[in-house]
Amino acid sequence: MLFSFAPDSYRYAVREVREVFPGEYRIERLGADLGRISEHPFAIDRLAAACDEGRIMFVRHLTLELAGYPLDDLPNGQELATTVLEAVPGRSVAVQTWTDGAGTGGSYYHLLGDALESRGVGVSRSGQDMIVSCIEVGKQLIVGTNRRDHSLSDWPGGRMRLARSEERVSRSEFKLEEVIATFGLALPAGGKAVDLGAAPGGWTRILRQHGQEVWSVDPGSLDQRLRGDRRIHHAATTAGRFFAANRVRFDVVVNDMRMDQVMSARMMLDAAAHLRRGGLVIVTLKGGGKNPLDGARRGMDVLRQEYAVLHARQLHHNRNEITVVARHG
């Protein structure tokens, strides 16, 4: 099976996989963000479950290797389609392509997609139960297949691409959008949310898009485009002082503050007393120093004093962070 990861996180991904699944098998790095697990004694659904539950945080995407071809001797589209259709049931698939590095591999999408469509197979880039991955890495093209619910992400290699808009307040918006989409989070209709370390208001804007009334906590200023929204309440103070005076019960608490993992987690312990039972927490644990894996685990140990951790993963927009989703009570 093949797995993707952030280019700087390969060793942490390998360590996690071997700790969760001990035994004799081979793991090798194929490219900047692609690895292979060979002769493994576990099925891909078990690996996917461990990643989804946050027991493995540094793996982003999974697929089962189907075939590999030298780039200077690629089969034509119809031959590729035949190989894929022998392994993939159904009449519709998502074809996802990428290259080692920053490329999208768009030519492979058309090569395979056109051939599949000529045989009556519906092809899209996402949203299908089965995913066909085409990865150009080194001097070869690797084709893999997997169920979407075992792939961890419905984006090529977990590389989520979000459109930039004039309304965007900050780059950090992409992080919250990605976690909501990746884990299929449904924020409560008409809910109350608190955004810790909100300025300039990127996460506040996304929370409002999801129907939340937001208390934005930060001594800094919010973007002027947010100031006229009557359902945004700017508390120009620190999180500690806000909670000391607060009387509101929240449904959602988010925290993207720049502090180490344990400090961020402890701040969420303070927030717990202000959350409704079953309330949702989203917090980024900033990658720390020489060992971000152990740092993230320490932060999650603190969080577990008040929360059940639902998901934890280094997402595409995280850089050196881990995003944790947890539930109170």
- Which residues are identified as catalytic? 286
Between CA 272 and CA 289, with CA 216 as vertex, the angle to 5 degrees is 70
CA distance 54 to 183: 12
Q: Are 257 and 282 in contact (CB under 8 A)?
A: no
Return the amino acid letter for 180.
I
280 CB contacts (<8 Å, ≥6 apart)?
185, 187, 251, 252, 253, 325, 326, 327, 328
Query: In whole angstroms, what is the distance from residue 200 CA to residue 48 CA?
Result: 35
The enclosing H or E element of 92 equals strand 92-99
Strand partners, 29: 35
Question: Residue 323: how many CB atoms within 10 A of its CB?
Answer: 24
| Cα–Cα dist 180/317, whole Å | 12
